[in-house]
Structure 1
């Protein structure tokens, strides 16, 4: 063999034994698993998937909910069902889908089954309940003629009976025509604004001024009944009560005159509307919330209308069985109940945690109590609702009524579901979370700090108040954040202890004692349930379910962010004590 051949043989790659290569790979995989990298990647993947799903869900809710407030164009078309005379229809296109031809035929429609496999089905919001049985109607797209967007077509959003679509014929004051033709639209817009202002004044007069008088008269009745029960209703007390009642009646007479004047001004204006199929209807403008021509609106005008509708949704009260209007009473009730719950649950949870960690003898009984607290966090929410109804409402509330409100019998005052009992029920539900979080925070405080404080002459109570609790305050806020996050979204227990379908009157008003804890409230979570599953108008309610769900998430996020800000501030404030 020559030198070149030897060099060539040396340069030939050496083949490793297959068993040895496999063993090396197996060892490397084992080392990779032992290093913990797979679990880090799996955890990161899980967190990423959870974030993507959360963002996707919120995006879906936002798109479905916020799109409802955009003023959609109103299409007009000739609709011809085979075997029937053509008719004109007008409405807002809500959705469109492809359905099998056989499915339409099975529903009783005169569909030619020999055609293509699919046909187009479109959902139109047609309104005009005076002439149609429902606000929404499914139509077959192939049976519709050319779709047009007449700029003069008008939408009238009403307080009752939904929208009305048609062409404006004239504007009347009583039976007298004040405008028609080209002058009718600006006159209508001006009168709708005027009637809306008068309607708001009328509602304020009825709810605030006359409501205060009715409240005062009811308090006089209860006062009279209380004096009768105590045998103290003498001639002097009766004279004082009659003098106050006469003052209320005198105030009511003045308001009654203004009320009649406003009613006369509100109910005098009408508009004659002609539908696309030729029917004419005279509508009273006091029933109209707004009138607009979506097909003639520019993008800027539509944006203004869009934000006006969102503002109405956030700041007004519901109407039309909660399928129209706003949800401000539900927002107020949710926030008020959550704040009262936080005020109640924080001291009780913190005191229980302090006792268990700082004062209780650590033994079998303390361990049993901790196990019970942890188990309470897993009890179904409806069980708390039943407990709240039985104990808070019937036992505690009934006892309060017998002791302090006997004059109101047989009508209950606190012996009925209300804001206070709903807040207390949520507090009982959330207190285990606060106890556990506070205990964890107290356990993290170094023992050396306690001993140093005691060595300097401080008592145990002073050490707890000035050293331990300030350093544990971020953990307390963490517990409060978790409690708010859970309690604000609960629905099941609240249906038993104070939340109702409709309560437009807020529990906070100008009548003493200003905050009425015995009053029933609305809640965003229950509003979602009611609109989504109890509404008689499913299609109209569906977008409001998304919008209300988005608003509930935002309210909970706002409450949590406020608590997080306070927690971070406390953490920075007492950071120096950790070192």
Structure 2
């Protein structure tokens, strides 16, 4: 036994076991988050509950069973619930999602099993997904056009509603395209003309001729805007033409314009194939649409775009600076106390809390550097800041400084592994030191550079604290990329998946509705990080194979 321990075999097994347990734990957590998040998009069965209320009357409750928990009878009695003396020691209670937010106090309601007289699967129940107030549960009673009910048989209501909703969605799509396209361009051009006129005025170059020219351009854009505004209002009126009459759980008839409905489905009447198709459709809408209802409804596309865009911008900034710093420290700097101090400082920077970088970015990049840029290049926009306000550029620069030590250390390690004989052979053949670095050393160290970039991306994509100070917001009205010159607007604020998780999980006014979105967004953030890392790993492996011959 003593020889076995001295051989080191037990420590190998212990290390392997610890690594295996860590991988299993990480994979299990990833699967758990994915299951809790992706199961939210599955069309759940909608039930109709017959409830016994305190005054002896009955009421009907329609909704999905969102959660189930066991509660001790003593806890319920202490909470003031009566009539439980002859009940078991443990009772079930159900969290029901009933929607219909504008007609009920809470769209999520806990009910005790003793209050339920009967439970049935609600046949032909329809779930409406709306632009506001969440889902609506009810039965289709009729369809109206311009306030007049259509004479349609009950078995044809769903087909007719589907066709008319498709028309309403097409009109809404045209409206959105108009707002983000031509109308957005005109507003951008009008603002540009206003700033141009003010700049000329500040410089003392605003002549009467130039003023008339700018006024003519502005009037032409205004006329175009009025024509597009008429077209926009026409789309809205056409979308409001059709409406659906729905009977809710209280028997009330509710008329909803189709312009407020995004989708509808009958979960209890779906086959397995239809449910799978609906699940894929809901996941696609989640990753491709904008958020609604204080981020508790809708999708996360702006957050996905903002996260990927900011990380890629950060990678473009940090890689050259990190590589140049590492090359200088390893290849050019003298081996003295100053170099040693710089290396210690770089290593210590990696341990600084991220919020400190955020404070530095806010104070230096936003207020000092951004404010100076505004005074030099954008005086016409003041006092409204352009770059003197948190934005995606300052966020990328802040995270670039945060991850810079990782890239420097990784690149230095890669440079130190290159044999000195290769450098000496290159110099002996007549190459200069810079040519040796560019053609031999840096290509061979490129896998190590990519390793540093992978670590930097992995850390930057999940950071939230510094971004809250230098650019990220709850809701960004426009993306940093659009069709208006200069196309990339690095001064704009942006949305981020990490901050979206924080906002939905801790700042949401509707906690129960936000909980599954926290899991879904967390799973999506991990997936984005894995995707970025896999892309970088693939590039690193290709570089390693490409320059493998130089190692021999």
Provide TM-score, normalisation by structure 2. 0.98
Work out the CA distance in 1 between the residues paired with 2:55 and 2:383: 64
Name the residue aligned to 1:198.
Answer: 171
Spell out the pairing of 1:346-495 with structure 2 (5 A cutoff).
346-495=319-468
1:545/1:194 CA distance change after superposition, 3 Å: same
SS in 1 for 2:49: strand
The farther-off stretch of 293-302 and 373-382 is 293-302
Equivalent position to 1:161, from 114, 127, 133: 133
Work out the CA distance in 2 between the residues paired with 1:110 and 1:359: 82
Work out the CA distance in 2 between the residues paired with 1:396 and 1:170: 61
Name the residue aligned to 2:20.
Answer: 48
SS in 2 for 1:145: strand
Deviation at 1:106, TM superposition (A): 2.3
**Matched-pair contact (CA < 8 Å) for 1:102–1:113:** no
Name the residue aligned to 2:147.
Answer: 175
The farther-off stretch of 551-560 and 98-107 is 98-107
Name the residue aligned to 2:214.
Answer: 241
Deviation at 1:447, TM superposition (A): 0.5
**Aligned-pair Cα RMSD in Å:** 1.1
Equivalent position to 1:343, from 284, 307, 316: 316
Which stretches of structure 1, 4 residues or longer, exceed 6 Å deviation after superposition? none
Deviation at 1:83, TM superposition (A): 4.1
Work out the CA distance in 2 between the residues paired with 1:481 and 1:504: 31
Alignment pair present for 1:147 and 2:147: no
Cα displacement string for residues 236-262 of structure 1 (whole angstroms, at most 9, x for unaligned residues): 211221221122112112212211210
The farther-off stretch of 36-45 and 408-417 is 36-45
Deviation at 1:459, TM superposition (A): 0.8
Work out the CA distance in 1 between the residues paired with 2:178 and 2:544: 50
**Matched-pair contact (CA < 8 Å) for 1:491–1:525:** yes
Name the residue aligned to 1:123.
Answer: 95
Cα displacement string for residues 109-144 of structure 1 (whole angstroms, at most 9, x for unaligned residues): 224234210111011100112321111100012321
Name the residue aligned to 1:269.
Answer: 242
Structure 1 spans left out of the alignment, 5+ residues: 1-28
Work out the CA distance in 2 between the residues paired with 1:398 and 1:504: 23
1:284/1:301 CA distance change after superposition, 3 Å: same
Deviation at 1:164, TM superposition (A): 0.9
Cα displacement string for residues 197-225 of structure 1 (whole angstroms, at most 9, x for unaligned residues): 11111111112211110000000000000
Spell out the pairing of 1:87-98 with structure 2 (5 A cutoff).
87-98=59-70
Alignment pair present for 1:102 and 2:74: yes
Equivalent position to 2:267, from 294, 311, 334: 294
SS in 2 for 1:124: strand
Work out the CA distance in 1 between the residues paired with 2:350 and 2:523: 26
Deviation at 1:263, TM superposition (A): 1.2
Equivalent position to 2:533, from 540, 547, 560: 560
Deviation at 1:273, TM superposition (A): 1.1
Equivalent position to 2:514, from 541, 563, 569: 541
Name the residue aligned to 1:5.
Answer: none
The farther-off stretch of 78-87 and 67-76 is 78-87
Deviation at 1:180, TM superposition (A): 4.3
**Matched-pair contact (CA < 8 Å) for 2:51–2:118:** no
Question: Aligned residues, how many?
Answer: 551
**Matched-pair contact (CA < 8 Å) for 1:77–1:148:** yes
Deviation at 1:419, TM superposition (A): 0.5
**Matched-pair contact (CA < 8 Å) for 1:170–1:181:** no
Work out the CA distance in 1 between the residues paired with 2:84 and 2:503: 41
Name the residue aligned to 1:530.
Answer: 503
Provide TM-score, normalisation by structure 1. 0.94
Work out the CA distance in 1 between the residues paired with 2:426 and 2:195: 57
Work out the CA distance in 2 between the residues paired with 1:179 and 1:569: 66
Work out the CA distance in 2 between the residues paired with 1:529 and 1:130: 27
Work out the CA distance in 2 between the residues paired with 1:526 and 1:130: 29
**Matched-pair contact (CA < 8 Å) for 1:179–1:187:** no
1:119/1:227 CA distance change after superposition, 3 Å: same
